[in-house]
A and B are shown apart, each in its own frame.
Chain A
Amino acid sequence: DTEVTQTPKHLVMGMTNKKSLKCEQHMGHRAMYWYKQKAKKPPELMFVYSYEKLSINESVPSRFSPECPNSSLLNLHLHALQPEDSALYLCASSPGGVGTPQHFGDGTRLSIL
């Protein structure tokens, strides 16, 4: 079991739906991340939150909207997604210092119909 918990594990949605992915960590980490991973590829960074503030947006389309309600929670709101957005969405957290490792959850497998 990982210390970063993601829900749901699987999600199927239509292109007109609105849904949210949730990530939770209780390790006291101050940095949290969203990644997108396609099959047989490494994770691609989407967003970074540091001390609950958005510090990196890797030119992600606005149909993905991140939110960090508090230091333990990270959400990713989804709206009007495209079939090419189908992927494994990973959340990670780290203590936030230079050179500290990121710890990943097991992801949400997202399928867009």
Chain B
Amino acid sequence: EDQVTQSPEALRLQEGESSSLNCSYTVSGLRGLFWYRQDPGKGPEFLFTLYSAGEEKEKERLKATLTKKESFLHITAPKPEDSATYLCAVQARASSNTGKLIFGQGTTLQVKP
């Protein structure tokens, strides 16, 4: 069964304290791994797509990496405005013709000044 697990469930950081969020996945044929950021009361905001092991994407203080079993979202020197819930989702081969995503439960990040 295709599955996505995110850890930790919640993370508290001091401003400037770098850390990583983990997304472990078990899918039969990865067609894409997606990272989203969601602020309270808003819809998920697309951040990155990763397709193959070894791939990396960067945007400001965020860097996403991918291996054959997991993805990491590295946050360098975070600021309070980085506080949000970060969602990981995968598209598997079985559902690639419909675009269906399998979501993890999310990691809620709080960055204190």
Contact = CB atoms under 8 A, between A and B. Distances in A.
Interface of A: 2, 4, 6, 31, 33, 41-43, 45, 48, 50, 55-56, 88, 90, 92, 94, 96, 98-107, 109
B49 interface: yes
B104 A104 contact: no
B43 interface: yes
B34 interface: yes
A6 B41 CA distance: 13
Interface string B45-56: 110010100000
A101 B46 contact: yes
Interface of B: 31-32, 34, 36, 41-46, 49, 51, 87, 89, 91, 96-101, 103-106
A107 B100 contact: no
Contacts of B100: 45, 48, 56
9 A-B pairs closest in CB distance: A99-B32, A104-B43, A42-B103, A98-B96, A99-B31, A106-B43, A104-B44, A101-B46, A106-B42
Per DSSP, are chain B's interface residues mostly helix, strand or loop, or mixed? loop
Contacts of A92: 43
Given A41-B105, A42-B104, A48 B99 contact: yes
Contacts of B44: 43, 90, 104
Nearest to A98: B96
Contacts of A4: 43
Given A2-B45, A90-B43, A101-B32, 6 more contacts: A33-B99, A43-B103, A98-B97, A99-B32, A99-B49, A109-B41
Contacts of A102: 34, 46, 99, 101
A83 B75 CA distance: 39
A3 to B, nearest CB: 10
